[in-house]
Structure 1
Amino acid sequence: MWGYRCFDTHIKDNRSTNSLTASTNKKKISFLVLDQGTSSTKSFLFDIQGTLEHSAKIKHSLTRPAPYHVECDPITILEACRSLIDKALSVVKAKGGTIQSMGLAVQRSTFLFWENKSMEPRTQALSWQDSRAHSIIKDFEPHQNQIKRISGTPLSAHFGGPKFLHCLIEDRTLKQEVLSGNILFGPLSAFLTHALTGTPAVDESIACRSLLFNLSTGKWSEKLLDLFQVPRSSLPELVPIKHSFGTIVPGNIQLQCVVGDQQAALIGQGGRKIGTLAMNFGTSGSVQFNVGRRPALVPGLISSILTSSNTDKIYMVEGTINACNSLFYHLEKKLNIPHEQMHWHKRCQERKTNGVFIPGFTGLAAPYWTSGFPDIYEGIDTSDPNDIIRAGMESIGLLTYDILEQIKPIATSWPKKLTASGGGARPPLLQFIADLTNLPVCHSTMKDRTAYGVYQLIRPKEKNLSKFKESYFDLTFHPSLAKDQQKSKVNCWHKALGTAGLIKNGQ
C-alpha cells in the first residue's frame, strides 16, 4: 500500500475533523491511536464512546554498536507505523466505518538527522538510552543552571542538544550538509510526522527533551541554539500538541495530535486535573505531576508541557527512570537468564535483600543525572541471581521515592494514594513503593493508559465517555513495612549513591 521507502506520498490539505461529508456521517466513526515505544509500536481503535475496538503490535529492537551507543532503525519504525495504519483501515472498512482522526504518542528523547526534501534518514535514531555525548557534557557544566532555567530540563547526554553537537563533531560531512540547510534534526516523532504527512513539525511536549526549547516562551531558544551550535534552519517547526499536522494517505486520516508517551500516560490516568500525580512503568519509568498553567522548576526534575493547543497550555514536572523493564532485559544478559525464564516479578515476590543495586548501564536520570557507568553492587550476594534481581527491582522503587520527595515541596496537597500503570507496574514493585512512601498504591485496570490518553486528546469534547473511567483500579497495595525498616532501606540506598559519588552537592 505504501511501497518500500516511499516518502513522496501525495499530501493533501488539512481539513477540520468536524468537516465530515454526509456519507461519512452515516458511517461508524473510529479514532486511531499509535503508541510508538522503545520495544514496539502499537495501534488502537476507539469508538466515539472510548471503547477499545481493535489493537495490534509490531515489535522492533535496539542495537548497541559501541559503549554508550544505543540506536534504533527509523525506517523499521516508520514501516511498522504504516503497516499498523493499513491494518486499522482494513478493520474499519470491513465494518463499513471510517477513521475520523488519529493521534500519535512517541518515545521522547530519541533523535536523528534526515534529509529535508527526500525525508530519507541520514543517521540511525539515537535512542533515549543513548549517552554517546557524555564526553562533551563537562564542557557545558558551567552553563547547566542557565540550561535548566530556560528549558526546564537538566543538562544530560540523553537529550537533543548534546546529541546534535556530538554527531557533528564526529561527522564533518554531516556537519556540512546541516550547514547547507539540506538536513533536519529532531526527535523521532518529527521524522515520523514528516514521513507520514509531508510536514516536518515537532510538538511542544517532545521539544522539551531537546535542551533547545524555551519553556516560558514556547519557542526555540536563541541562547541554547547558539550554545549547542544548532542552526535554526535545521529544526522542524514548533507546534502545539493538539494541532492539524496533516493528512495521512492512503486513508485520508487527519493527524490531530502528537504527544510524548509519558505525557499521554498521565492524561490517561486522569492527569489533566491540576495536582494529579501518577506513575507509569514501561521500558523506562516516569513519575509525573500536573502543575497547572504556569511552569514550575524543581531541582533534579524535568519541567515540561503536559498538553497544549492554540488557546491553552498545561505544564507538568516529571522524574524519569532510565531502567525499568530495560533493567531486566539487561540482567537477562548479565546473568545469562533466557527471557522466557526471567519472570522478574515472580522471582522478587517473596524475596528480600539487604543489598543495593545501582543500574549504571544507561546512566541515572532523575534526580541524579549521571551518564552511563558500570553497575554497582553493594552488599549483594552476587552468586545468587535472585538477590541481584530483587535489588534491581528495588532500585526502581527507590528512585521513584527520591522523585516523589522532590515533588513534595511544590504540592499544595499530597495524594492519599498513588496510581500506577504500564507493563512494568507489577505487584512486588508496587508493594515496595507502598512500603517506601507509606501510601497505598493502586494498579490501573487498563493496561494501555498511554493510548487512552491520546484518545482523550483527539475525541470530540462534546461526547461523553462510556464506563471507561480514569479511576478504575483492580489492585491496591497497602504499606506493610515498619518505619525503621523503611528508613534503613532509604539510608542504605543514599549511602551507596554517596559512596559512588553519584549524589552531587545540594541533593
Structure 2
Amino acid sequence: MSILAIDAGTTGVTAVVVTAEGTIAARGYQEFAQHFPRAGWVEHAPEEIWQATIEATRAALAAYGGDDLRGIGITNQRETVVLWDRETLSSPRRAIVWQDRRTAEICHRMREEGHEERVAELTGLRLDPYFSGTKLSWLREHEPHTWALVESGRYAVGTVDSYLIARMTRGTWHVTDVSNACRTLLFDLTTGDWSDELCALFGVPRDALPDLVPNWGEIGVTDPRVFCGLELPIAGLAGDQQSALFGQTCFEVGESKCTYGTGSFILTNTGSELVRSDAGLLSTAAWRAPDGQITYALEGAIFVTGAAVQWLRDGLQIIGTAAETEAIAATVDDTEGVVFVPALTGLGAPHWDPHARGMIIGLTRGTTRAHIVRATLEAITFEVRDVLDTMGTVESIKVDGGASANDLLCQLQADQVGVPVERPQIVETTALGAAFLAGLGTGLWSSTDQLRETWQLERRFEPATDRARADAAHAQWIRAVERAKAWAE
C-alpha cells in the first residue's frame, strides 16, 4: 500500500509515491514559469501550476505502475495568493507569490498607523510583504473590478493548496489547514480560527476564505474526470515547511530542521505552547490533529537561498545546473574576500528588510566564477546561522531539500554553525511529510512513533573549521548585509 504525495513548490511540482516503509518508489517533476512583471514583483500563473501538477503526477504514476494507492497528501508553497472563479475554476489574474515585495508600502502605512503590535499578538507574524494579507489588501486597492467579484462571492481566495484541491475535486471543496492559514495575517493563533478583526483590518471578506480542516483525515475526494483518473481521498495537507518538519519526524519539543529550497526555513517544534520571539522569529502553527490539538513552532524564514543558485544559472548564466555548484566551488579554497548577499527579494529573518537588495562585494580582477559560486553557497550558510543564533543552543541540525544533497554546502554549514549537520536518506522530506500525514489519515501508519522508525541517517557532517575563522567570515558577512539594507527605499 502506498501514498501519492504532491509537493507544489515555488518553481515546480514534484509528485512522489511513498511506500508503507517510508521509501520513495517513484517520482515525477514538472517546472513552471516564474513571472516578474516589475522589479520586486513575482507571479505564477495558476493554470501553469495545475498543469505542472497533472504532468508530475502522470510521470510518478507511470514510473510506479501499481494500483494500490491509499490516498493523497498535498504540500505547497505558502503565503502565495490565488484567486479563482468558483464555477469555472479559471483564475482572473496570476497568483502573487510569497517572494513578491509590492506591498512594502502597505506594510509601512499599517505600521505607521500602529497596527503591527496587535497583528503580531494575534498572528505571531509581522507586517511584511511576505505574508498573504497585505497581498489581498493590494488587490482590493489596485484591482477593484476583480475584488468586487471576491466580495460578491463569485471568486474564491486561497493559497496554493486550496486552489489545487478545488481543481482536483472540480470545485467541491474549498479548504485549507492551520499551517497555511496561519501565514495569511488573517488567522488567530490562539483561537485556531480566522479572525473577524483581522479580516476587517485587511479588508478581506471572511466568506471568501477556505474552511479550516485538520492536517490529516479525509479532507476531500479527487474527481477522476479531471485528475489523472484517480478517485482517492485527499487525506493529508500542510504548508511546505511544516510538512518538512513532519517529514523529518520532529515530533518532540525542541526538535529542529532546516530545509534548503527556493528559500531556507528553520523550524523548531514548541509543542502545545505558543512561544513568542522578540528576535525576528515567527510563531506559527505546525499542524492540527483531528482532535483539534494544535502543535506550534518557531520559524526563521530566509527568502532566497536555492533561488540564488537558480539566479546564477538563469540570470548570470555562469552555471549550467545547480548540481555543478559543488564541483565549481571546490576548485577554490575560499572566496578571496567576495561576499554575496542574496537579498534578491529583500531580507527575511532575522533582519526583515523588504527594501534590501542583492549585492556582490569584494570583487577584484582576480575574481572568477568559482569565487562567486562559492560565495553563494557560503551566503546560504551565513543566512542559516543568522537564524540559529537567535534560537539559542542547538545540538544538531536535520537538513533536507534539494540543496542538502550538496556535500560542500552541508560541510560549510556545519563549519559555520559549529554543530553537526544530519542529512537523512530521503531529502525530499517536504513531500515525505505530506505522505506521512496522508498515511495517518488513511490508516497506513498508526502513529507518529511508527513514522519515526522510518527516518534513516544518510550522512553526518561534523564541524571541521576553527571557530575564530568561522566567526571572522560571519562578521564580514554581517558588514555586507548592513550595506545591502534599505537599498530600494
TM-score, length of structure 2 as denominator length:
0.89
* Corresponding residue to 2:359 among 367, 370, 376: 376
* 1:317 counterpart = 2:316: no
Aligned residues of 2:149 and 2:155 also touching (Cα < 8 A)? yes
* 1:358 counterpart = 2:332: no
1:174 counterpart residue number: 146
* 1:213 counterpart = 2:174: no
2:206 counterpart residue number: 232
2:239 counterpart residue number: 260
* 1:330 counterpart = 2:311: yes
Aligned residues of 2:249 and 2:452 also touching (Cα < 8 A)? no
In 1, the alpha carbon distance for the partners of 2:286 and 2:125 equals 14
In 1, the alpha carbon distance for the partners of 2:196 and 2:317 equals 48
In 2, the alpha carbon distance for the partners of 1:374 and 1:492 equals 17
Q: Secondary structure at 1:339's aligned position in 2?
A: coil
Aligned AA (1:303): S
1:332 Cα deviation from its structure 2 partner: 3.1
In 2, the alpha carbon distance for the partners of 1:303 and 1:467 equals 25
Q: Secondary structure at 2:403's aligned position in 1?
A: coil
1:50 Cα deviation from its structure 2 partner: 2.7
* Corresponding residue to 1:131 among 87, 101, 116: 101
1:147 counterpart residue number: 119
- Describe how 1:46-445 pairs up with structure 2 within 5 A: 46-86=18-58, 95=66, 97-141=67-111, 142-197=114-169, 198-250=172-224, 251-299=230-278, 300-311=280-291, 312-340=293-321, 343-349=324-330, 350-353=332-335, 354-381=337-364, 383-408=367-392, 414-425=393-404, 426-445=406-425
In 1, the alpha carbon distance for the partners of 2:6 and 2:76 equals 8
Structure 2's unaligned 5+ residue stretches are: 225-229
2:454 counterpart residue number: 469
In 1, the alpha carbon distance for the partners of 2:63 and 2:317 equals 41
Aligned residues of 2:318 and 2:369 also touching (Cα < 8 A)? no
1:12 counterpart residue number: none
Q: Secondary structure at 2:304's aligned position in 1?
A: coil
Q: Secondary structure at 1:42's aligned position in 2?
A: strand
Q: Percent identity?
A: 26
1:214 Cα deviation from its structure 2 partner: 0.7
Map Cα deviations across residues 420-455 of structure 1 (whole Å, 9 max, x no partner): 111111222222221222112122221311222222
Map Cα deviations across residues 220-245 of structure 1 (whole Å, 9 max, x no partner): 12222122111112211122222422
Structure 1's unaligned 5+ residue stretches are: 1-28, 409-413
1:502 Cα deviation from its structure 2 partner: 6.0
Map Cα deviations across residues 447-471 of structure 1 (whole Å, 9 max, x no partner): 311222222222224388699732x
2:227 counterpart residue number: none
Aligned residues of 1:246 and 1:255 also touching (Cα < 8 A)? yes
Aligned residues of 2:356 and 2:485 also touching (Cα < 8 A)? no
In 2, the alpha carbon distance for the partners of 1:436 and 1:91 equals 40
Aligned AA (2:51): E
Aligned residues of 2:81 and 2:96 also touching (Cα < 8 A)? yes
Give me the CA root mean square deviation.
2.4
1:108 Cα deviation from its structure 2 partner: 0.8
In 1, the alpha carbon distance for the partners of 2:63 and 2:483 equals 56
Greater shift in the superposed pair: 375-384 or 179-188: 375-384
In 2, the alpha carbon distance for the partners of 1:388 and 1:190 equals 39
1:86 Cα deviation from its structure 2 partner: 5.0
TM-score, length of structure 1 as denominator length:
0.86
In 1, the alpha carbon distance for the partners of 2:479 and 2:55 equals 49
1:496 counterpart residue number: 480
In 2, the alpha carbon distance for the partners of 1:149 and 1:389 equals 41
1:7 counterpart residue number: none
Cα distance, 1:53–1:80 mapped onto 2, change above 3 Å:
same
Map Cα deviations across residues 287-313 of structure 1 (whole Å, 9 max, x no partner): 110000121111311211212123122
Aligned residues of 1:381 and 1:388 also touching (Cα < 8 A)? no
1:38 Cα deviation from its structure 2 partner: 1.6
1:263 Cα deviation from its structure 2 partner: 1.2
1:333 Cα deviation from its structure 2 partner: 4.3
Aligned residues of 2:436 and 2:451 also touching (Cα < 8 A)? no
Aligned residues of 2:309 and 2:322 also touching (Cα < 8 A)? no
Aligned residues of 1:156 and 1:371 also touching (Cα < 8 A)? yes
Q: Secondary structure at 1:424's aligned position in 2?
A: helix
Cα distance, 1:291–1:69 mapped onto 2, change above 3 Å:
same
In 2, the alpha carbon distance for the partners of 1:195 and 1:235 equals 16
